[in-house]
Amino acid sequence: MYIAALDTPALVADMDVLERNINGMATLCDQLGIPLRVHTKTHKVPEIAKLQIAAGSQGITCQKLGEAEVMVDAGIDNILIPYNIVGTPKLKRLTALIQRAKIIAALDSEETAKGISQQAHADKCTVPVVVELDTGSGRCGVQSPQKAQNLARQIVKMPGIDFQGVMTYPSNIGAKSFIEETLDLLSSDGIPVNIISGGGTGAEAASKELGCTETRSGSYVYEGMTRIGNSEMLAPERCVLRVIVTVVSTPTPERIIIDGGMKTFTSYPPSPYGHIIEHPDAKIYGMSVEHGHVDVSKCSHRFKVGEQLSVIPLHQGMTSNLHNELIGIRGNTVETIWQIAGRGRVK
């Protein structure tokens, strides 16, 4: 099938660019000598995770337990969940999942550790965990090396839970003293550290320098404004995703309306929302829920109702999360259709 025959709005991935991005990161981590554990939050597609593993990733990272379940269902067997798993329903799901795959969970409190310990002990299994360090994210994570040490000391006394090391986000050189001091304290306690997990696309060299045992990179797989930083630099040769849309109205000479709005692109980030490949001078200046409002006053092209356009969305992960399927294209042809199986798995 040709792209031109697609019903729209359709989320498509350029397979050539996807393969180039996956191989490029694999080569970079290989050259740096830092093992890669890809983060699948951006795509949520098991088939893409498998391409990344085939290219050398030693496992994957899933932000939520529900995404990890989808990946295990698809046959992936080595997953880090860098998220506090809290509450009986999730703890039961965690101990069920751990029978089927190697799962490592991150945590930052004694309450989370106790919950995991008690459920795992009851279910006769052991959950490997890493302690999250807040090295600048201002989100989760223990706030000091001493607190990391205190938490590790608690964990090693608990049944059903196995202290494996630490994780940090973000990985930058400012994290060096926090990590080193934590390792020294753990070493002085005789608590072994097997994992030092660093993270974030672009932090691969820093992860190596910090002494990490792995680096978690995610958004590199698609590339977009969240990585490239400037919508002017978005280009089809480096960005994988496009939303194919149709012009549904040409109400004035300056304005056209496309059939994708906030429910197709997300409302984040703001204008220009996306980059129209065929007509870079056409600017998406606003979106309502199901309409995209495009200023074409700077275009010499005369747009017609029914015309298809290819838009590189600005936020790759948020846009992917709105769609049920991803259509893999090569050139002008549809090559494959993948379910975005991890979409909406917020639990």
Residue entry with tokens 């849309």: 245
Give the number of other Cβ atoms within 10 Å of residue 298's Cβ: 11
Site membership for its own copies, residue 8 (CB under 8 A): yes
132: helix, coil or strand?
strand
Which residue lies nearer to its own copies by CB, 35 or 261?
261
Of 234-273, binders to its own copies (CB under 8 A) are 246-252, 255, 257, 259-260, 262-264, 266-268
Which residue lies nearer to its own copies by CB, 41 or 279?
41
User: Is beta strand 241-252 parallel, antiparallel or unpaired with respect to 255-258?
Assistant: antiparallel
With beta carbons less than 8 A apart as the criterion, state whether 11 and 327 touch: yes
Q: What is the smallest separation between the CB atom of 321 and its own copies, expressed in angstroms?
A: 5
Site membership for its own copies, residue 321 (CB under 8 A): yes
Q: What is the smallest separation between the CB atom of 33 and its own copies, expressed in angstroms?
A: 29
Site membership for its own copies, residue 323 (CB under 8 A): yes
Select from 14, 69, 134, 214 the one that contacts its own copies (CB under 8 A): 134
With beta carbons less than 8 A apart as the criterion, state whether 345 and 66 touch: yes
Q: Report the C-alpha gap between 57 and 206 in whole angstroms.
A: 18
Which residues are CB-neighbours of 124 under 8 A, at least 6 positions away?
Answer: none
User: Is beta strand 255-258 parallel, antiparallel or unpaired with respect to 38-39?
Assistant: unpaired
Site membership for its own copies, residue 334 (CB under 8 A): no
Judged by CB under 8 A, the number of residues near its own copies is 62
Select from 73, 77, 111, 184 the one that contacts its own copies (CB under 8 A): 111
Which residue lies nearer to its own copies by CB, 213 or 343?
343
Q: Kindly state the helix (H) or strand (E) to which residue 71 belongs, with its residue range.
A: helix 65-73
Select from 26, 28, 101, 140 the one that contacts its own copies (CB under 8 A): 140
> How would DSSP label each residue in 165-234?
EEEEES-SGGGHHHHHHHHHHHHHTT----EEEEE-TT-HHHHHHTT-SEEE--GGGT--HHHH--GGG-
Which residue lies nearer to its own copies by CB, 32 or 262?
262
Of 180-209, binders to its own copies (CB under 8 A) are none
Site membership for its own copies, residue 322 (CB under 8 A): yes
Q: What is the smallest separation between the CB atom of 32 and its own copies, expressed in angstroms?
A: 26
Q: Report the C-alpha gap between 214 and 195 in whole angstroms.
A: 8
Select from 14, 108, 214, 223 the one that contacts its own copies (CB under 8 A): 108
Q: Considering only CA atoms, which of 220, 182, 191 is closest in space to residue 36?
A: 220
List contacts with its own copies (CB under 8 A): 5-10, 41, 63-64, 83-84, 86-90, 108-109, 111-112, 115, 134, 138-143, 246-252, 255, 257, 259-260, 262-264, 266-268, 288-291, 293, 304-306, 317-318, 321-324, 344, 346-347
